[in-house]
């Protein structure tokens, strides 16, 4: 007890204010999306592991992106599905804090991995003769390790600032998972520092990296336009366009949510946007790479032919 207020030990996720029939319908639809996310990213991982032709830096980074997308979806979607079936089911304080931490860790890691992938494409297209010497396996492993470590560290900073806050009174989180801004609104203390850190973190892992991606692709575009071979230009465009689609989807929604203006009218809209960000983005990523990447399609065809032959 704190004075005459009860300390909160669990939270209630409000999710989406819909009728029972619509909630059952959404449960089925989101379960389907979740299954496609796991199968699609799992298939990308399996292809990269089993096909020696995909044992290159580009697909090494793509395999980690697939792992992040699987973890990203597994952190938020199962709880959301449970909440659709039983809206009154609470989530414990520890479970809520864990979900917040993991969401931030995976989101930060994905931001940094997309930057690494753009650098890989920059070296491959703008400095092809030096690609093997620059993007050696030691460099690739180091870049991926830095992405994971920085992602976890930045999330840990937010968690350390969040845990000491007193939570009392309302237990209702106006979201479908324990999103950090929605949780902060329930604190019975000044959260100005936390909000400033969220904005600073968003700028550091969204605006800064996106700027470097834009600069990289400006150089890549100039290099592609100088390619005389139509086939070479088409191959370069196909590998880069899939990455650009993923970058646009991820950074576009994330910047609107965390860097854009925070006002009452857009809060509900941002909740639905975050649903797209955390549910549909991980599902669309493997689809984009498989449909727009010739090497992935060929690897899938070789795998299917091998299965039929056996």
pLDDT digits (tens, 9 = 90+) for 123-178: 988 888 899 999 999 999 999 999 999 999 999 999 999 999 988 777 889 888 99
* Separation CA 118–CA 210 (nearest Å): 10
* Separation CA 144–CA 106 (nearest Å): 13
Cβ atoms 245, 288 nearer than 8 A: yes
Please list, in sequence order, all residues whose beta carbon lies within 8 angstroms of the beta carbon of residue 160, skipping any fewer than 6 positions away.
none
Mean pLDDT of 259-267: 63
pLDDT digits (tens, 9 = 90+) for 12-49: 998 887 888 898 999 999 999 999 999 999 989 998 99
CA distances from 273 to 131, 258, 291 (A): 38, 11, 24
> Residue 102 above 50 pLDDT?
yes
Does residue 32 sit in helix, strand or coil?
helix
Rounded to 5 degrees, what angle do the CA atoms 138, 128, 125 make?
105
Question: Both ends of the chain: CA-CA distance in Å?
Answer: 67
> What secondary structure letter does DSSP report for 175?
S
295 half-sphere exposure, CB direction, 13 A CA radius: 18
Locate tokens 């900073």: which residue?
157
pLDDT-derived band of residue 292, with 50, 70 and 90 as boundaries?
low
* Separation CA 158–CA 117 (nearest Å): 26
CA-based nearest residue to 34, from 75, 2, 3, 90:
75
Structure tokens at 45: 């991982």
Mean pLDDT of 91-111: 94
CA-based nearest residue to 249, from 213, 220, 282, 218:
282
Q: Where are the alpha helices (DSSP H) in 259-293?
A: 264-275, 281-292
| pTM, rounded to two decimals | 0.89
Does residue 246 sit in helix, strand or coil?
helix
Structure tokens at 73: 């979806």
pLDDT (0 to 100) of residue 1: 40
Structure tokens at 10: 């669990």
Does residue 7 sit in helix, strand or coil?
strand
> Residue 2 above 50 pLDDT?
no
Mean pLDDT of 55-77: 93
> Residue 74 above 70 pLDDT?
yes
Q: Where are the alpha helices (DSSP H) in 86-167?
A: 93-126, 131-134, 137-162
Structure tokens at 217: 């692709």
Cβ atoms 73, 154 nearer than 8 A: no
> Residue 5 above 60 pLDDT?
no
Sign of CA dihedral 115, 118, 120, 122: negative
> Residue 278 above 90 pLDDT?
no
């Amino acid at each position: 007890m704190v004075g005459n207020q009860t300390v909160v030990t669990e939270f209630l996720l409000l999710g989406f204010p819909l009728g029972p029939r619509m909630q059952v319908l959404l449960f089925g639809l989101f379960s389907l999306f979740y299954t496609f996310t796991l199968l699609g990213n799992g298939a990308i991982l399996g292809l990269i592991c089993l096909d020696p032709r995909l044992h290159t830096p580009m697909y090494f980074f793509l395999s980690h992106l697939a792992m992040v997308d699987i973890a990203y979806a597994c952190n938020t979607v199962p709880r959301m599905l449970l909440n659709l079936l039983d809206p009154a089911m609470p989530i414990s304080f520890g479970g809520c804090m864990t979900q917040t931490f993991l969401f931030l860790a995976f989101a930060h890691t994905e931001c940094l991995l997309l930057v690494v992938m753009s650098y890989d494409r920059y070296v491959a297209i703008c400095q092809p003769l030096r690609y093997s010497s620059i993007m050696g396996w030691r460099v690739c492993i180091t870049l991926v390790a830095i992405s994971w470590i920085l992602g976890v560290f930045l999330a840990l900073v937010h968690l350390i600032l969040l845990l000491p806050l007193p939570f009392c009174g309302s237990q209702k989180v106006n979201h479908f998972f324990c999103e950090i801004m929605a949780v902060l609104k329930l604190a019975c203390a000044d959260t100005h520092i936390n909000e400033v850190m969220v904005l600073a973190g968003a700028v550091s892992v969204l605006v800064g990296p996106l700027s470097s991606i834009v600069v990289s692709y400006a150089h890549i575009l100039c290099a592609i336009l100088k390619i005389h071979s139509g086939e070479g230009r088409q191959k370069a465009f196909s590998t880069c366009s899939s990455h650009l689609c993923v970058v646009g989807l991820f950074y576009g929604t994330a910047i609107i949510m965390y860097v854009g203006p925070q006002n009452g009218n857009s809060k509900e809209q941002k909740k639905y946007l975050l649903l797209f960000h955390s549910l549909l983005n991980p599902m669309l990523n493997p689809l984009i790479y498989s449909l727009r990447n010739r090497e992935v399609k060929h690897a899938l065809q070789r795998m299917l032919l091998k299965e039929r032959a056996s």
